[in-house]
Structure 1
Amino acid sequence: LMTPPEAKKFFNFRYPPAGAERVFYGRANDPQIAPSLTHGIRSKISTAAKVLINPQPITTFQQKMKDKKESVYFSNQRAPLGKSHDQTPGLPKGLDILNTTFGTAVIRELTAREVVNPPKSYQEVFEEGQAGHDLYIVSHNDYYAGEAKHRKYNPSSFHRFNLYGIPTPHFNDGRNMAKTLHWLHELQMKRGAKVVSKRVDDFKEKFQHKLGRILDPIAETMNVPPDHTFGACLRPEEYGAGDLIHRRLPGEYLRGKDRQRALVAAVRHHLKKVNYQNFDTLLAAFRHYDKASSKKGDGAIDKAELREACDQASVHIDEKLLDQLFEYCDVDNDGLINYLEFANFLNWKDKTPLKEYEERVIIKGGKPDCANPAEANVEESEPALLIKPEDIVLKEPGSSEKTLRTLLRPSDKVSNHYKTTSSEISAVVGAVPSTCYPIYGVPTIRSDIPAPQIRRISDRTNYGEEGDAYSLLHPTIFGQKGLFERDFFKTRSKKEVQH
């Protein structure tokens, strides 16, 4: 169907073609005169700038003709270009213009160098400059820089170096200059009260933002103090995430005890350093603590012995911190620190491995064999056993060095059935299959939602009907023939499938 010309002008005005000018339907059938019209005055082509800047050279004949035309001018006769004018018409006849000179001969006495910079010393130049200075003051007012004018007043009543008059107020910070830079009416406007419309002021106070204040349009309707906070105050729990994981009892919560734990850790670190620097073995360090008080050699360290050992190590702590340190080291809560607890909490057991003769002393409880020179310095051991044989373990699997086992605090023991997801995934034997891994986020292939029948151009979602990188690098036989995944998953009628 063809649009009638009568209706097409209305259609082209509302929906013009791409790249075409929108023409009002009232002048759609008017003759097109405007495209052929030219406005203004046609410019005439003048001499090009290239010819003016760099003209073509003229011939010799043209130059002679030009000089002949310009010779009639008086300026050309008096001041020709590039040479002096001919002065012969104004001179007497018969005068030798080449050898005749006029005036008095100049006698060359001094050079300009000697006049500007004479070969004299500074003292001679200074004395010559001072000579006759008083005469030059009278004749030429030749004063030195900063020299005061001598007015020859009566010296009995006036001295030239005295100061007269009232001192002028002066401030180095420029406050007087600052006053001169402000007009009087500006200062009066600052002092005067500013008249503002109450309606405008109320509007700004209610709806305009202010620096450092929260915009609250309904503040005038709230009969509450300015520092009022709405909602329930959520108080933090007395236990933290670590307390829940380790299943600590209410009296063993560690939340809010960071400063207390830091002080205990600092004291323990200082004692560890003192023990490692002053003793060769764990046994020697333990005996030093055990013999610190009147009870010597009882095989355990009480609180008094720990305090005396701390004082000897220049670690002065108060009673409360001492109780916290002793409570931290005493795992079995018997009021004493045995050898195993001492090795775990007050010494670097990994840096001082257990020696063979030391092992015999702490297990057998007998006196060491002094025939061995390595054991000659070890003092007589206690009659009681310090540790049990099962408390001694290998430092590393396959190593011959031995050390004491690591103690676990009762509050840090985790439930037997507690396992993390990462430990189950990273396990080698009985690992969780990859299909059981927890999946988070939106899947890359949205097979969980149906693909739309008509997709938008901006829709980049993969609904599972497209191939992946493997199908692009290794296309199937169907793909080579032009059949892809969307063709297989397309819904077809029974008649189309049969054919």
Structure 2
Amino acid sequence: FSTGEAINRKYDSPNFSKSFVYGIETPHFKDGRSVSKSLNWLYDLQLKRAAKIVSKRSDDFKEKFQPQLGKVLDPIAETLNVPPGHTFGMLLRPDEYGVGDLLHCHVPCDFLCGKDRERAVLTAVRQSLKKANYENFDMLLEAFRHYDKSGDGMIDKDDLRKSRFQLNLNLDDELLDSLFDCCDLDKDGLINYVEFANFLNWKNKTAVKEFEEKIITKGKKLDAPVLPEDTKTNDEPLLKQEDLVLEVPGSSEKTPKTLTRSTDRVFANYRTTSSQYKAVVGGLPTTCYPVCGVPTIRSDIPAPRIRRISDRTNYGDEANAYVLLFPSVFSQKGVYESDFFKTRPKAEIAQILRNIGVNISDERVEEIWKQACMKYQKEEICAESIRNVLDEIHVSHTKNSC
């Protein structure tokens, strides 16, 4: 017989079965708890159930000197007769001026410190008006005529208040007054064409066309709806010929000149050493006089692909003070200029567009890729070229929808 096999006695009794079990049942558990209990000492089991005794002196010490989240660590707080929120030392109040006020030598009435929220809201309102003007009007003159309800060549506060309802821009009177004061540079209570072009439009996106220039400088009018008979109109030109400057040196497109505020100029005739030898914008270029020495920014030589650790030369690809003070979104994310102009295959461009949240199909990617290749005459396109093509498509779509 095999192990565990019962012996067949070959009993013929009908009351007997070979599966019958005789004797007293032995209590046991199939999960092995009894074996586990026998492997552990009784002292260890009692020690786990016992309460942990800690010295009160040690517990008080830990309560005083143990750092806690969100609570200032002050071990001697009980010995001081001061309120809980008391701070020691001299209170340093912030100055009424900031670094920008010192750099630009602003007068006290023009200090910008403490006006950050007001300036941010005002900038957001101006951006909304710029976007509305760009999407709804093809020309600066057409947008200006829309705001100029009286047709006198000037925009007053009532005209601006009426136009905001048509553009679905809900502004309270206080914010509207701040916006008007920001745009009214000469403080005459009216916004002229040059101020309108500088502060309520994107100048680099809407250049002055040739026929528009003739209308503006000669005092003619567009074929606008007929005004009431008692409306006073101004036949004088909206701006003078000298108020138009070239958008880019060497190009034929013109744009209204850039206006500067009084706070942008140097206060009290302050002069720097560099301004004394014409090292200013609009001064004599270096081609008019001999230059000696090695320039500080070596833009005359190409930057090496791999730079040595000891190479401290500025090849013109380093950030300046403005970029350090106001870094762009791309700089904060670690994306630099070389990444924008690096040529990439079509699959990588499509992956970049989808990673930044653009929901675009493969057919649309193929169409944009063909347009970019035809425009730049290249087989591989950089991300900057694709961005320019997308901007052109968006502009054409916006104009067609309007």
Alignment of structure 1 residues 23-62 onto 2, 5 Å: none
**Using the alignment, how far apart are the partners of 1:233 and 1:432 within structure 2?**
52
Aligned residues: 246
Q: Evaluate the alpha carbon distance shift between residue 376 and residue 140 of structure 1 in structure 2; reply closer, same or farther with a 3 A threshold.
A: farther
Structure 2 residue 109 is matched with structure 1 residue 251: yes
Match of residue 237 from structure 1: 95
**Deviation of the 1:277 alpha carbon:** 2.2
**Deviation of the 1:237 alpha carbon:** 1.1
Q: Evaluate the alpha carbon distance shift between residue 351 and residue 202 of structure 1 in structure 2; reply closer, same or farther with a 3 A threshold.
A: closer
Match of residue 345 from structure 1: 199
2:55 to 187, 196, 218: 196
**Using the alignment, how far apart are the partners of 1:287 and 1:425 within structure 2?**
38
**Using the alignment, how far apart are the partners of 1:187 and 1:420 within structure 2?**
83
1:268 to 108, 126, 133: 126
**Deviation of the 1:328 alpha carbon:** 1.0
- What is the DSSP-based 3-state SS (H/G/I as helix, E as strand, rest coil) of the residue aligned with 1:317? coil
Match of residue 389 from structure 1: 241
**Using the alignment, how far apart are the partners of 2:220 and 2:295 within structure 1?**
61
2:258 to 394, 406, 423: 406
**Deviation of the 1:347 alpha carbon:** 1.7
1:363 to 213, 217, 225: 217
Match of residue 277 from structure 1: 135
**Deviation of the 1:185 alpha carbon:** 8.6
**Using the alignment, how far apart are the partners of 1:267 and 1:282 within structure 2?**
19
**Is the contact made by 1:366 and 1:382 (CA closer than 8 Å) also made in structure 2?**
no
Match of residue 477 from structure 1: none
**Deviation of the 1:278 alpha carbon:** 2.1
**Deviation of the 1:186 alpha carbon:** 6.7
**Deviation of the 1:289 alpha carbon:** 0.5
Q: Amino acid of the residue matched to residue 340 of structure 1?
A: V
Match of residue 483 from structure 1: none
Q: Evaluate the alpha carbon distance shift between residue 435 and residue 312 of structure 1 in structure 2; reply closer, same or farther with a 3 A threshold.
A: closer
**Using the alignment, how far apart are the partners of 1:223 and 1:421 within structure 2?**
59
Q: Alpha-carbon deviations, 1:277-310, whole Å to 9, x = none?
A: 222221111111111xxxx212111111111111
Structure whose CA Rg is larger: 1
Structure 2 residue 177 is matched with structure 1 residue 317: no
**Using the alignment, how far apart are the partners of 1:378 and 1:356 within structure 2?**
23
**Is the contact made by 1:245 and 1:414 (CA closer than 8 Å) also made in structure 2?**
no
Match of residue 304 from structure 1: 158
**Using the alignment, how far apart are the partners of 1:435 and 1:339 within structure 2?**
42
**Deviation of the 1:221 alpha carbon:** 4.6
**Using the alignment, how far apart are the partners of 1:298 and 1:188 within structure 2?**
95
**Deviation of the 1:419 alpha carbon:** 4.5
Structure 2 residues without counterparts, runs of 5 or longer: 1-15, 21-43, 228-232, 298-309, 311-402
**Is the contact made by 1:425 and 1:431 (CA closer than 8 Å) also made in structure 2?**
no
Q: Alpha-carbon deviations, 1:73-130, whole Å to 9, x = none?
A: xxxxxxxxxxxxxxxxxxxxxxxxxxxxxxxxxxxxxxxxxxxxxxxxxxxxxxxxxx
Query: What TM-score comes out, normalization by structure 2 length?
Result: 0.51
- Alpha-carbon RMSD across the aligned residues, in angstroms, is 4.2
**Deviation of the 1:414 alpha carbon:** 3.0
**Using the alignment, how far apart are the partners of 1:414 and 1:345 within structure 2?**
22
Q: Amino acid of the residue matched to residue 155 of structure 2?
A: I
Q: Amino acid of the residue matched to residue 189 of structure 1?
A: A
Q: Alpha-carbon deviations, 1:435-455, whole Å to 9, x = none?
A: 999xxxxxx9xxxxxxxxxxx
**Using the alignment, how far apart are the partners of 1:250 and 1:393 within structure 2?**
33
Q: Evaluate the alpha carbon distance shift between residue 235 and residue 397 of structure 1 in structure 2; reply closer, same or farther with a 3 A threshold.
A: same
Structure 1 residues without counterparts, runs of 5 or longer: 1-137, 143-181, 368-374, 438-443, 445-499
Alignment of structure 1 residues 471-490 onto 2, 5 Å: none
Q: Evaluate the alpha carbon distance shift between residue 211 and residue 266 of structure 1 in structure 2; reply closer, same or farther with a 3 A threshold.
A: closer
Match of residue 148 from structure 2: 290
**Deviation of the 1:326 alpha carbon:** 0.9
**Deviation of the 1:411 alpha carbon:** 1.7
Alignment of structure 1 residues 132-281 onto 2, 5 Å: 189=51, 196=55, 198=57, 208-212=65-69, 219=77, 221-281=79-139
Q: Amino acid of the residue matched to residue 55 of structure 2?
A: V
Q: Alpha-carbon deviations, 1:200-237, whole Å to 9, x = none?
A: 5666567x554456665655553333432111111111
**Using the alignment, how far apart are the partners of 2:251 and 2:209 within structure 1?**
13
**Deviation of the 1:396 alpha carbon:** 2.0
- What is the DSSP-based 3-state SS (H/G/I as helix, E as strand, rest coil) of the residue aligned with 1:189? coil
Q: Evaluate the alpha carbon distance shift between residue 384 and residue 215 of structure 1 in structure 2; reply closer, same or farther with a 3 A threshold.
A: closer
Match of residue 57 from structure 1: none
Query: What TM-score comes out, normalization by structure 1 length?
Result: 0.42
